Amino acid sequence: MSEDPALIFTLTAPIRLPAKTAAAIEGLVSGGLPDREVRNTIHGNQVRLRRIAGVAADMPRVLGFVHHPESDASVILALAEARLLGQD
């Protein structure tokens, strides 16, 4: 089974400008997936993007999570990464 990269991201709620926020996130990855974790504020929402290498081909390529600002995005990203890599 082949392995490919995937992208996971978190976004704080409430999403103030959904269409513009989605377009901005798409713009962040339009040139390819980032090699490192990206942290950004887009239209007042905190966004974190993380590229995951070595993900099995039958797993999702993109996972997104919307969370309360008080939640720890690092934990969300770590759990999603572990699941994508079969380390759960």
- Map out the domains of the chain as residue ranges: 3-84
For the cut 90, the answer to whether the pLDDT of residue 85 exceeds it is yes
Supply the pTM of this predicted model. 0.88
Tell me what pLDDT residue 1 has: 56
β-pair type (38-42, 62-67): unpaired
Q: What is the pLDDT of residues 2-58, one digit of tens each?
A: 678 899 999 999 999 999 999 999 998 888 888 889 999 999 999 999 999 999 989
Tell me what pLDDT residue 2 has: 63
